[in-house]
Amino acid sequence: MRTLLIILLFAVSLPAGSVDDMTVGRWQIVTHSTSANRTHITEKEILGLKADHTLDITILVSLKKDEHFIKDLQFRATGIWKRHTTTLVLVIQKIEVPFAKEVSRTITKRSMEALAAVYQSRLTESPIRINTITLLTDKKMTIINEKGVSTSYTKYLPSPLKQK
């Protein structure tokens, strides 16, 4: 009984919203595809949900077709988030200018601009996103957006070699 009372007092003394919210953390999804013209595309999205209710989204896009390639074309956005039971609301407030880690000489400026416009529109066309959380564990989060599209994120764990 004494232990239960101590636990209850501790739980009541915590500020509202500070109880371990499993949505806080860095989440990722990686997709691989090949377009009709045989371009191999890898997209990696990292969604960072911080305890102070700010968020950051990083989208990395790599393309390869024959000798043409773009490595890690990067799009970043920041904003705020709020969760109420199973509803997760993301609000994008700022989008940074994209940049690429490496681009082959055979890629034209017009191609880069067109590609950047496609991915930037994903962030600018719906700056307010209302999602329903259908699964949330310490390692996986699945959400369904307003259009009914389901996205399954896994907890992002950077490579130990990159942390040095």
Average pLDDT per consecutive 10 residues, the chain (164 residues; last block may be shorter): 38 42 95 93 96 96 91 94 96 91 87 87 90 96 96 84 53
| pLDDT at residue number 159 | 66
* Backbone torsions φ then ψ of 22, nearest 5 degrees: -70, -10
Domains of the chain plus CATH, in order, are 21-155 (2.40.128.280)
What are the DSSP calls for 25-86, one per residue? EEEEEEEEEE-TT--EEEEEEEEEE-TTSEEEEEEEEEEEETTEEEEEEEEEEEEEEEEETT
